[in-house]
Amino acid sequence: MFNVILTDGQDDAILTFELRNTIIAQKWFSELCKDYPLYETDRFTNWNDKELLSELKYQANTITTYDKRIKVIVPDHPTQKDLNHLHTYFENLRGDVVKGTTWYNAAPKKVQKALTRFNVLIHELEANSRTTNHPTMVVTFRERPIIELTKEDIKHFTYQWTSGTVYINYCHVGKTVLDIFKDKDRVADAVRPQTHYSADFMVKFGPSTSYLKYILKKIAIMCWIPFQRFKFKNLNLGMIPVADLVSNFNINNMRRFNKVKAIRCTK
């Protein structure tokens, strides 16, 4: 089991999760318990009323002020098509998550952080545009390795979401095939199925996906895939579940706790 401790700056709230009985869950938990320093601690979607668009413009301005050759225009009312286009700036400027581009490696830390936050805000705006009743929390870590998934591990990918479940977070630069489908994104270069895992994770607190809704979505995706030009051996649709919430959760009581304070493993 492990605890996620949230804070509002004064008071704390503790969420307790129980590990699933799978090999990949055990491997992920082993990474989680290595006490890597926290990186993103305020990445919440449909959680509270954050001024996402204003912050997106601010981060874009930080990037373009540093390099005036970059023309990032954030519309006042961005559509999904606009967000898809904005995401290409992140992909092109950031490059590989380990190596980075020459531009990214030469940029000051402030600009690197702005670009990272720029990407996060785009995904939060995308999530908010899809639904307003599916809160999520993403926790990421610094200096954590990324490890290749095995053939057995990838069998656990799913997009039949369950409420309160912890999923291994995407740890690449780009978009998964499922995100490309949901966002109607035609930018082929952005597609990169998840092939590795790290200690990073996402928790989905929204309603569980009904079996009927899952089947209908599966049919739509299976009809869509043949018309794409994917050359990947494994599309790895969805995410891998590794743990489940066992403590009580009510989003209305939790909205003020909007920062992750610590992760505590209780093996």
Question: In the beta sheet, which residues pair with residue 265?
Answer: 2
Phi, then psi, of 220 in degrees rounded to 5: -60, -45
Q: What does the pLDDT average to over 143-171? A: 96
Phi, then psi, of 223 in degrees rounded to 5: -75, -25
* Least confident range of 44-48, 59-63, 166-170, 235-239: 44-48
Predicted TM-score of the model (pTM):
0.74
Q: What is the DSSP code string of 129-174? A: HH-SS--EEEE-BSS---EEPPTTGGGG-B----TTEEEEPP-SSS
Written as six digits, the tokens of 17 are 């999760």
* pLDDT reported for residue 145: 95
* pLDDT reported for residue 258: 86
* pLDDT reported for residue 229: 81
Q: What does the pLDDT average to over 203-212? A: 93
Phi, then psi, of 238 in degrees rounded to 5: 100, -145
Q: What does the pLDDT average to over 146-165? A: 96
Phi, then psi, of 161 in degrees rounded to 5: -70, 145
Neighbours of 215 (CB within 10 A): 12
* pLDDT reported for residue 189: 62
Q: What does the pLDDT average to over 118-140? A: 83
Q: Is the pLDDT of residue 205 over 90?
A: yes
pLDDT band, residue 187 (cuts 50/70/90): low
Question: In the beta sheet, which residues pair with residue 38?
Answer: 141
Q: Side chain identity at 224, as an amino acid letter?
A: W
* pLDDT reported for residue 67: 94
pLDDT band, residue 132 (cuts 50/70/90): low
List domains and CATH numbers for the chain.
1-46+135-267 (2.40.100), 49-130 (no CATH)
Q: Side chain identity at 105, as an amino acid letter?
A: N
Q: Is the pLDDT of residue 184 over 80?
A: no
* Under 8 Å between Cβ of 140 and 200: yes
Strands 241-245 and 147-148: unpaired
As a whole number of Å, the CA-based R_g of the chain is: 18
DSSP annotation of 68 reads T
**Structure confidence by residue, pLDDT tens digits, 67-124:** 999 999 999 888 888 998 999 999 899 988 778 899 999 999 999 999 999 998 998 8
100: alpha, beta or left, given left = phi > 0 and alpha = psi -120 to 50? left
Phi, then psi, of 18 in degrees rounded to 5: -110, 135
Q: Is the pLDDT of residue 49 over 60?
A: no
> Nearest CA to 86 among 139, 44, 126, 138?
126
